Structure 1
Amino acid sequence: MTRRFALIIDPVDASEERADFAETFTVVDAAAPALSVGELSTQRGDGVFESIGVVDGHAQEVIPHLERLANSARLCDLPVPHQEQWRQAVAVAASECPAGESVIKLILSRGVEHGPTPTAWVTAAPASDFTKVRQVGIKVVTLDRGYGLDVAERAPWLLLGAKTLSYAVNMAALREAHRRGADDAIFLSSDGFVLEAPTASLILRFGDRFTTPAPTGGILHGTTQLSVYEHLAENGLDAGYDRIPASDLPRADAAWLVSSVRLAAPITTIDDVDVPVDHALTSELNHYLLSPRD
């Protein structure tokens, strides 16, 4: 697929029950104009989104992504998306994806300023080739996020637990990481605890135990991290959640950034300190993450 595929969705009431939502989709050329200049997603980033990995035409972890989209919508006071309508839209988009890896994006915005309804659409496009990154690994730096670990409770209006379209800070963090000679970043709370990456979840291994920062403090609970944890548990491995001091990072016996499209990227250095790479387990994780998963 060289072109991008897009569906504009006519949002329906979340309480509406029906078997077929095909008439609520409008197929458009993603390269052609489709949104109003008054669309608040472009003016203010006022909306939420999800990115779903697609492997050989199979959309991965659709329901967890839709559940997280709904949670983000609730946090942002947006209408809760009708899960079955969006599931069918994802199925249509996935059917347009060829063999190999693609990415489907789900977007729900406030809509046109002073308009009566939100705007919703789904796109599908080829994914970048992350084969080398999964094999060779990435260098990361730590960046102060500027908030304490309790900020989500003290200031829920910051929407730190929602996956919003306001991604300027995340992109700025990646640019800063590149300026420092790294590939990615890990956010730290201002009181010295490990959070997440700008577009990924962090998994660390200490001895025989795997851990990730607890999904509090404004951390977005990663769908890929949850899937990896299911795989680890099925193999009898200990995986849990902790408050992780930043001082523990150099002690990690292995570390990964995991996300829906890049999958499991092993970390080779953190702030120029070498981190051991478990090549065998990384290969196993990516083999699992590339298998069909619902």
Structure 2
Amino acid sequence: MNNSIIINNELYKNSELLVNISSNMIRYGIGVFEAPKIVNINEKYYLFSFELYYSRLIKSCQSLNIKFRYSYFEIVDQIKKLIQNHTLSDNSALRINVFSLECSELLEEVEGDVIISILDTNHRNDANLIEKIIRIGSFERIKGHSIYKIKSPANYETSRVELFGDNDVDDVLYTNNNGEICELSRSNIFFIKGNIVYTPDLNSGILEGITRQHVIDICKKYKISVHVSSISRDDLSGFESSFCTGTTNGIVSIKKINDIVYNTQNRMLNFIKDLYLSEFTSTEIIKNMEKFIEL
């Protein structure tokens, strides 16, 4: 039953679903989503830090005036219910979408319908990449605007426009109207110079990435200096290495931004990668079970 999904706690076959064209998701693109991290350890699957994904999902719904109908524990139960009807692999990704399936207008408060599904990440253009080539995008973000803190499908339209037909790059890097670095289309960005790690602050115009914060916490845990502040586009050539972070791919090295080439074999970069991967070993999961939910 790998084509099964959960809608409002009921199991359906994906092929049997119909779409209401009067939904504000269809008419206006109003909706939010989350992609909580699933970890496979010896054929046992765990949710990692799900409370953080759930909290961000609720905040995104509130920002768009979408009523969320389920508690944290109810959503966990629905995820477990879905997992029982799927054969997972290392390429499986969990997706929670929230939008109204019913007829609704642009500005009215809507009751959010919750759709939980399992996706195969092999179809992604950046699946299994070990390093990325990046181009700075032409769209400027507005520094400090709250829209970038919402994880909404609508926020990905500009990256699709930027990347369509461009086979020479893997992603775009956004900057803001102050000429400062923001993030990639689906991941946060970090830089390394010497023994110091740099990453843009939230006010630059970025999503508050959960993997981003996890990497910051790891660096602090192991006494690696992290500077979280605005980063000028003019500073890009002064860094030795760069990497991006996201739930699906974890940490991925950045080989190039425009004409600037970075060292993908940097000692600090590889050290941080190793520390990140070590967080998801069976030994670490047992030591930190409060962060994990067995599925």
TM superposition score category, shorter chain reference:
0.7 to 0.9
How far off its partner does 1:131 sit? Answer: 7.3
Query: Which deviates more from structure 2 when the two are superposed, residues 211-220 or residues 64-73?
Result: 211-220
Q: Which moved more, 1:79-88 or 1:186-195?
A: 79-88
1:29-56: CA deviation from partner (whole Å, max 9, x where unpaired): 1233254333322332111101123222
The verdict on how the C-alpha distance between 1:236 and 1:273 changes in structure 2, with shifts beyond 3 A counting, is: same
Which secondary structure state, in structure 2, belongs to the residue aligned with residue 276 of structure 1?
coil
**CA distance 1:112–1:148, shift in 2 (3 Å):** same
Q: Please, what TM-score do these two structures have when normalized by structure 1? A: 0.81
Q: Is the aligned partner of 1:240 residue 2:227?
A: yes
SS of equivalent residue, structure 2 residue 164: helix
The answer (yes or no) to whether the contact 1:4–1:125 under 8 Å persists in 2 is: no
Give the letter for the 1:75 counterpart: S
Offset of 1:143 from its aligned partner? 1.3
Distance 2:254 2:112 in 1: 39
Q: How does 1:146-157 map to 2 (within 5 A)?
A: 146-150=140-144, 152=145
**Which of 268, 271, 275 lines up with 1:281 in the alignment?**
271
Q: Which amino acid aligns with 2:93?
A: V
Q: Which residue of 1 aligns with 2:177?
A: 190
Report deviation, 1:272: 2.4
How many Å separate the matches in 2 of 1:206 and 1:186? Answer: 19
Question: Distance between the aligned counterparts of 1:288 and 1:131, measured in 2?
Answer: 21
What is the CA distance between 1:70 and its match in structure 2?
A: 0.8
Which of 52, 56, 59 matches 2:47? Answer: 59
How far did 1:262 drift? 1.6
CA positional deviation for 1:209? 1.5
Q: CA RMSD in A?
A: 2.5
- C-alpha distance in 2 between matches for 1:217 and 1:171: 21
Q: Secondary structure at the match of 1:210?
A: strand
Q: Following TM superposition, by how much is the alpha carbon of 1:261 offset from its aligned partner in structure 2, in angstroms?
A: 0.5
Question: Which SS does the other structure have where 1:55 is aligned?
Answer: strand
- 2:111 matched to 1:121? no
Q: 1-side partners of 2:3 and 2:222: how far apart?
A: 38
Residue 122 of structure 2 aligns to a residue whose secondary structure is coil
The counterpart of 1:92, out of the listed 81, 89, 108, is 81
**Aligned counterparts of 2:237 and 2:50: Cα–Cα separation in 1:** 35
Aligned to 2:129, what secondary structure does the other structure show? helix
Task: Indicate the larger mover: 273-282 or 189-198.
Answer: 273-282
Map 1:140-289 → 2, pairs under 5 A: 140-150=134-144, 152=145, 159-166=147-154, 167-175=156-164, 178-179=166-167, 181-277=168-264, 278=266, 280-281=270-271, 283-285=273-275, 287-288=277-278
> Deviation digits for residues 230-277 of structure 1, max 9, x if unmatched?
222222212231110011112222211111102111000110221011
Moved more, 226-235 or 34-43: 34-43
- Asked if 1:69 is matched to 2:57, the reply is yes
Contact 1:256 1:265 (C-alpha < 8 Å) held by counterparts: yes
One-letter code aligned to 1:83 = Y
Aligned counterparts of 1:5 and 1:290: Cα–Cα separation in 2? 28
Shift of 1:283: 4.3
Cα distance, 1:114–1:127 mapped onto 2, change above 3 Å: closer
Say whether residues 1:133 and 2:123 are aligned partners: no
Q: Secondary structure at the match of 2:192?
A: strand
Residue type of the alignment partner of 2:14: A
For residue 290 of structure 1, report the CA deviation from its aligned partner.
4.7
Confirm or deny: 8 A CA contact 1:145 1:190 kept in the other structure. no
1:192-236 deviation per Cα after TM superposition (whole angstroms, max 9, x unaligned): 100011111111112212121111143110011111122222222
> What's the offset of the Cα at 1:99?
4.3
Higher percent of residues as strand: 2
Are residue 49 (structure 1) and residue 36 (structure 2) matched?
Answer: no
Q: Is the 8 A contact 1:53 1:101 kept in 2?
A: no
Superposed structure 1 runs of 4+ greater than 4 Å apart: 129-132, 289-293
How many positions carry a matched residue from both structures?
268
Alpha-carbon distance, 1:289 to partner: 6.1
Which residue does the alignment assign to 1:6? Answer: 5
CA distance in 1, matches of 2:32, 2:74: 17
| 1:51/1:104 contact within 8 Å kept | yes
Structure 2: gaps spanning 5 or more residues = 286-290
Q: Which residue does 1:17 correspond to in 2? A: none
Aligned to 1:20: none
Give the aligned partner of residue 14 of structure 2.
30
